[in-house]
Amino acid sequence: MNSVDLTPKLLRHRHRRNHTVREFVNSAFKHAGVELEWKGNGVSEKCFVKSFVSALKPPTSNLRVGDAIIEIDSRYFRPLEVEFHQGDPSKAKKKLNWEPKVKFKELVKIMVDADMKNLEEMKQCQDVIRKLSNNR
């Protein structure tokens, strides 16, 4: 078996496709059945719930149409932010014979499904706790 340098630098997930935070947010909420609307520009930009487009309304959610769910906050800007990041998976391919197989939209779906499952389980736990508390 060949020895492979498995340093954290090598194992960072990298691919040659770039996606914005907005793309991620739009994809995640769309998969959850929530249509979004972005208004404003720059630091005054906000993201609002436009509609619920499916029966997949997130469990335990109090979201309503018109709610602002994302606002820009300059306190979180990094002073020396690099404008453009792009990974190069060639080192992982060469050393580990690995290439990314999960596409962006599929990854977002996996993440949202896991979060929604966790929320549903949390809601069920809260329901049990509420019932037990009322039986005292």
Q: Please tell me the predicted confidence (pLDDT) of residue 43.
A: 87
The number of folded domains in the chain is 1
CATH number of the domain encompassing residue 63: 3.90.25.10
- Judge whether 26 lies within some domain: yes
Q: How high does pLDDT run on average in the chain?
A: 79
Q: How many CA atoms lie within 13 A of 123 on its CB side?
A: 11
| Region of residue 4 (left: phi > 0; alpha: psi -120 to 50; beta: else) | beta
Q: Is residue 25 part of a domain?
A: yes
Write down the H helix ranges in the chain: 8-11, 21-31, 90-96, 104-134
Residue 4 resides in a domain: no
Q: Which domain holds residue 65?
A: 10-75+83-134
More confident position, 37 or 59 = 37
Q: How far apart are CA 100 and CA 107, in angstroms?
A: 11
Query: 124 pLDDT exceeds 90?
Result: no
Would you say residue 127 lies in a domain?
A: yes
Give pLDDT, residue 47.
Answer: 95
At a CB cut-off of 8 Å and minimum separation 6, what does 59 contact? 116, 119, 120, 123
**What digits encode the pLDDT tens for the residues 41-68?**
988 999 999 998 865 555 556 888 999 9
126 or 109, greater pLDDT: 109
Domain annotation covers residue 98: yes
Residue 1 domain flag: no
Which residues are CB-neighbours of 5 under 8 A, at least 6 positions away? 95
Q: Is the pLDDT of residue 136 over 70?
A: no
Interval 15-28: pLDDT, tens? 556 788 889 999 99
Q: Is residue 5 part of a domain?
A: no
In sign, the C-alpha dihedral spanning 30, 116, 55, 71 is negative
pLDDT of residue 113: 93
- Domain presence at residue 30: yes
